[in-house]
Amino acid sequence: GIGGGAAMDLFGDLRRMNKRQLYYQVLNFAMIVSSALMIWKGLIVVTGSESPIVVVLSGSMEPAFHRGDLLFLTNFHDDPIRAGEIVVFKVEGRDIPIVHRVIKVHEKGNGNIKFLTKGDNNEVDDRGLYKEGQNWLEKKDVVGRARGFLPYVGMVTIIMNDYPKFKYALLAVMGAYVLLKRES
């Protein structure tokens, strides 16, 4: 079979590649990973949001956003939250942040704000999603507000969540590519 031959070639290549080259590729890979982490940390600082980029996982915000859209978030505390804005919030007891629109805002005299959210595509507001006895969100629940988006780029994330085998295949291919990439 072709598959077996390709695998043998791969190992032959790895054996022939001298140690220095291997070290170089491993360092190269480590640099790519650490650069990505630094960029991520930088985005967190610049945007004020603990997750500056999120993927829309459900269809509850269609047609504004679709499953797989990548959202860019900012979370500046001085910015007032307004009705009509799209926010990403976390609810106690749920791991995954929710992307929905603010439909009502209550501002108190002391500057405290409470607000209610709803998915554009949902029949009812989000009170059923909040933790029991919680009727409003507060600023501390907000992870960020949508500032821009790239359509469907996040589909890869969704596919990796839905099909874990795909994730491992993708990682294996990326790893092999980094190891075998010859310096031209």
Architecture of domain 53-151: Ribbon (2.10)
pLDDT for 162:
84
DSSP string for residues in 144-164: EEEEEEETTTTHHHHHHHH-H
pLDDT for 16:
67
For residues 127 and 110, the answer to whether their CB atoms sit within 8 Å is no
- Write down the domain spans for the chain: 1-47, 53-151, 153-183
- Residues 85 and 26: their CA atoms lie apart, in Å, by 44
Residues assigned a catalytic role: 60, 100, 126
Q: Which residues of the chain fall below pLDDT 50?
A: none
